[in-house]
Amino acid sequence: MLSGTVVTVRVDELPDWLPDWCVDQFGDEPVGVLFEARSISAVFGLRLARGREVVVKAREDDGRAASCVAAQAQLAQRGFPCARPLTPVVAVGALAVHAEESLPGGEILRGDTPSVARRYAAVFARLMAELADVQVEPPLPNPRWSRWDHTDSGLWPKIDFLDERDQSVVPQFVVEMAERVRKRLLATNLPCVLGHADFEAQNLRWRDGEVWAVHDFDSLGWQPEAALVGAASGAFANDPPPSLVPVASSAAFLDAYQEHRGRAFTAEELEIAWAASLWTAVHNARWEALHGDAPISLDAVREQAAERLRKANA
């Protein structure tokens, strides 16, 4: 994710491997740190000795990174508003590391109204249309918050730092909602496609009313189009802490997406979209319960689950 814990560090506080990596890749060493952000990835904004500014991303090497960066490179080459990768993915110990151009500026478009939903849906439709022509190996496994298609035993995907916590604190209704949503999603035979699985406000920037940059291509996924669209329809407004947009806003997102893509979803696709709109929220509700966080997603799931499940035929 683009957002995370942003800290100010000095060059001499950077990870030991990073200065040498920059010299290997760019023939230049970092002399300034523009920012450091940590979420699932560690992201470093660096100024190199000859004045160039780059962004270096490092994340646990789970086999996804090369496909994600290759897809991002193809999009940038076509003029899609995203940062252009500057290096391939390089293994550094257990990390997958690459650099991309710095693409600062722009503002977050906030709000979860139907009108805002339609603006986000237009961008998502454009992105999905571009990704339809991108040829890469599927970036699997899918990001953990969208991994309803996992093959692990049990309901939730295996995530050690969550699984080791006391699961009894997760409300039973969250578990029941997750079971119903996942059952509906797994019942579909819709083909998988490449798509952005973390399409949230925190990962986009806007300028003069137009999208300026879409970030976080580390979070590409390989799932049915309807599932990817549905997830975005529920989460597009997320700028921490995450929640779930109103049902009417998800409906506006889905309608606008189909309009921009020039194709109406089938009845099954609509059901899958509505099911997927709830999965990220139940994942976040579980997270809140396990960490003792304010029940923002949990309350939204409690309020909206019945209607979303009805629309999902789940």
Burial (CB count within 10 angstroms: exposed 0-12, middle 13-18, buried 19+), residue 126: middle
User: Which residue type does 166 have?
Assistant: D
Of the listed ranges 7-21, 200-214, 229-243, the least confidently predicted one is 7-21
Looking up tokens 């699932």, which residue turns up? 40
Within 8 A by CB and 6+ apart from 15, the residues are: 42, 58
Strands 42-48 and 30-38 come out as antiparallel
Name the residue type at position 128: M
Q: How far apart are alpha carbons 87 and 5 in whole angstroms?
A: 25
Residue 39 has what pLDDT?
77
pLDDT of 2 higher than 50:
no
Average pLDDT of span 182-200? 98
The tokens describing 238, both together, are 């997320």
Instruction: Collect all residues with Cβ–Cβ distance below 8 Å to 259 and sequence separation of at least 6.
Output: none
What is the mean pLDDT of the segment spanning 72-79?
Answer: 97
* Cα distance between residue 168 and residue 290, in whole Å: 9
pTM of this structure:
0.94
Lowest mean pLDDT segment, chosen from 38-47, 252-261, 270-279: 38-47
pLDDT band at 1 (very low <50, low <70, confident <90, very high): very low
Look at residue 12 in the predicted model and tell me its pLDDT.
79
Distance from C-alpha of 225 to C-alpha of 229, rounded to nearest angstrom: 6
Contacts of 24 (CB under 8 A, 6+ apart): none
**What is the pLDDT at residue 272?**
98
Q: Residue 173: pLDDT above 90? A: yes
The mean pLDDT value for 191-205 works out to 98
pLDDT of residue 184: 98
Helix axes 65-77 and 114-131, enclosed angle (nearest 10): 100
Residue 105 near residue 95 (C-beta atoms within 8 A): no
- The domains found in the chain, sorted by start residue, are 5-101 (3.30.200.20), 114-312 (3.90.1200.10)
